[in-house]
Amino acid sequence: MFFLIGLGLGDAKDITVKGLEIIKKCSRVYLEAYTSVLTVGKEALEEFYGRELIIADRDCVEQDADSILAEAAEKDVALLVVGDPFGATTHTDLILRAQQKGIAYQIVHNASIMNAVGCCGLQLYCYGETVSIPYWTDTWQPDSFYHKIKSNRTRGLHTLCLLDIKVKEPTLESMTKKKKEYMPPRFMSVSEASQQLLKIIQNERLDCVTSSEKEQNFSLAYSENTLCVGLARVGSPSQQIVAATLKEMSETDLGAPLHSLIICGDIQPLEEEYLQQFLSKSCPASIFKNHVGS
């Protein structure tokens, strides 16, 4: 059987009892190591699980998945995933492949940022579509997620922004070589994401000036003074949460990864009361007046 097991968000002990029991009986156990990371390394997991783990990088999971599934046709094989197994489309594809090959499978769920984000006090049912913010380059600066944020805020909904990570990314120079060379790991911070979001509204304003048709109905999805919530290392002992304006967030250092960013929509009274404890020292309490919910 093929087992897809969620590890949760914190450390080795976040594994469920069911997941740990399966790990101990499997012939081979892979650790997926590119869609997210835990606050502890492979060695700490191996010590707690009492099992050797095989690192499964992007190439292994995306290009050599059939080999992993072929093993599962003959014996029990597990793939461990940070968070919940269905937090990435890659894992959905694995299950579809298993179905096509007639290989039995089992999913073991766990906490993910999609539900643990409730730790900041914003109610889960008040979120709209989640967006992903990728790293920009000098020649590639996508901003299609801006319109999703605008749609959410038009309806008074919060937007959870999942921030880019780069693990074992090949350098452009090595793409044509037989032997790939990889860039150092990078994890987008809330300040980097906020800087890109600020750049987008600057571009939107410039675009409006050059388009009289757009100017007639022009409105921004958010502004420099929009309330945002930055989260770091959710589920770990060093978890950190800060509520601030987008401008302030662009200058905020929340330390080590992983980070997530929320662009607030309408704020309900209970949400406001809970968020007060996370307001940055320079953020006025009056910020909530711009985010009044019905």
Residue 190 assigned as binding residue: no
Nearest CA among 171, 161, 126 for reference residue 274: 126
Tokens, residue 103: 């290989």
Cβ atoms of 259 and 190 closer than 8 Å:
yes
Residue 84 assigned as binding residue: yes
Residue 279 assigned as binding residue: no
Dihedral angle computed from the Cα positions of residues 68, 174, 196 and 253, in that order, rounded to the nearest 10 degrees: 80
Nearest CA among 126, 135, 129, 127 for reference residue 148: 129
Residue 260 assigned as binding residue: no
Residue 57 assigned as binding residue: no
Tokens, residue 171: 């350098």
Residue 91 assigned as binding residue: no
Distance between CA atoms of 149 and 221, rounded to whole angstroms?
A: 6
Distance between CA atoms of 265 and 268, rounded to whole angstroms?
A: 10
Residue 227 assigned as binding residue: no
Residue 258 assigned as binding residue: no
Annotated binding site for S-adenosyl-L-methionine: 9, 84, 87, 112-113, 163, 234, 259
Which residues are known binding-site members? 9, 84, 87, 112-113, 163, 234, 259
